[in-house]
Homo-oligomer: A and B are copies of this chain.
């Protein structure tokens, strides 16, 4: 028999303001679009709406760049105030050259501009940060949905990533609640009884990438998707940090 997984983009999700309750907005959109939430569904939320609800917007006008930000701005040809915003979200500077500023951000993700983002933020000088603790945000949304519906769902918070070696971007998981981010085959047998040694599928990243296929970017404005009928392993104490690898453990260290 064929297994069928369904991914539903909630097109009626509204524009989010600070203080909005994301879980309630999701349930309202589900209701409006006649989509039923089932036990085991996975709710994927673009970090932007979570960050907006948490008031994680910053205005360049309010930023006074430090001396270090001014120096990096000279090298990267970026607005020193933007560099200052990025530095405040940064744990370690990775690369600063002409028009490129890559850091390890406070959540541990190595990414461009510490994931500080301009698109779909109202106001010419306004930028959006990641949620302060995206796992906590995911847990809050999940608890609220479970409280209101009695359906045990999982929640993933996604963000857009440029990737080494490859063109274009995909969505990865930055916050997680209620599911194991991996499907680990190591130690299991393949079709011919050979023991798998490496295979540990990052299902959470695959789900956020899958969700983007119905979410869209630009002015499409569909920041929430529901993934149905997909078997994942329930895990109460999950963290998107498990998806990160330390530099020393990274097989690709010095390969780039």
Chain B, residue nearest A210 (CB)? B210
Chain B, residue nearest A205 (CB)? B170
Distance between A94 CB and nearest chain B CB, rounded to angstroms: 5
Question: Are A217 and B201 closer than 8 Å at their CB atoms?
Answer: yes
A245 CB contact (under 8 Å) in B2, B6, B9, B167: B167
- Residues 185 to 241 of chain A near chain B (Cβ within 8 Å): 185, 188-192, 194, 196, 198-203, 205-207, 209-210, 212-214, 217-219, 221-222, 230
Distance between A86 CB and nearest chain B CB, rounded to angstroms: 15
Q: Does A141 contact B (CB under 8 A)?
A: no
- Residues 15 to 73 of chain A near chain B (Cβ within 8 Å): 15, 33, 35
List residues of chain B with CB within 8 A of the CB of A219: 188-191
Given A189-B218, A251-B112, CB of A256 within 8 Å of CB of B168? no
Copies in the complex: 2
- Residues 108 to 125 of chain A near chain B (Cβ within 8 Å): 109-110, 112, 118-124
Q: Does A75 contact B (CB under 8 A)?
A: no
Question: Are B256 and A254 closer than 8 Å at their CB atoms?
Answer: yes
What are 14 A-to-B residue pairs whose CB atoms are below 8 Å?
Answer: A3-B8, A4-B214, A100-B251, A119-B199, A121-B192, A163-B252, A165-B250, A166-B243, A166-B244, A167-B200, A167-B244, A168-B243, A169-B201, A189-B218
Closest 5 CB pairs of A and B: A168-B202, A210-B210, A164-B252, A206-B209, A256-B256
